[in-house]
Amino acid sequence: NAGVTQTPKFRVLKTGQSMTLLCAQDMNHEYMYWYRQDPGMGLRLIHYSVGEGTTAKGEVPDGYNVSRLKKQNFLLGLESAAPSQTSVYFCASSRLAGEQFFGPGTRLTVL
């Protein structure tokens, strides 16, 4: 059981570049989430999914898009990266009302 994995672990982008972060879980969880963590801001929910083919906006969705084509994968896209998107990104998954399982994070720097 790998749990929740995230790819890549680190990335440096230039302003305006695009990228996709991949999250995969092997626990057959219905719910998946993308968060960003910034100093002093705690965890902020970007987007989430309650099942394959469905996504919804969280607290800070602007500048991000997501897709959940397969139940085990949840992709986070940045179409045109901005310095304000420099952050650590965490993916998580859970059953309906259970605890969340988090990935190890992706550290993104946008220059």
Residue 32, burial from CB neighbour count under 10 angstroms (0-12, 13-18, 19+):
buried
Are 78 and 106 spatial neighbours (Cβ–Cβ below 8 Å)? Answer: no
92 forms part of the interface with another protein (CB under 8 A): yes
Helix (H), strand (E) counts: the chain: 0, 11
Residue 19 · residue 7 · CB < 8 Å: no
Q: Least distance in Å: CB of 43 to another protein?
A: 5
User: Using CB under 8 A, which of 74, 90, 93, 110 touches another protein?
Assistant: 90
Q: Does 19 bind another protein (CB under 8 A)?
A: no
Q: Which of 20, 45, 73, 86 binds another protein (CB under 8 A)?
A: 45
Site for another protein, rule CB under 8 A: 4, 31, 33, 40-43, 45, 48, 50, 56, 58, 90, 92, 96-105
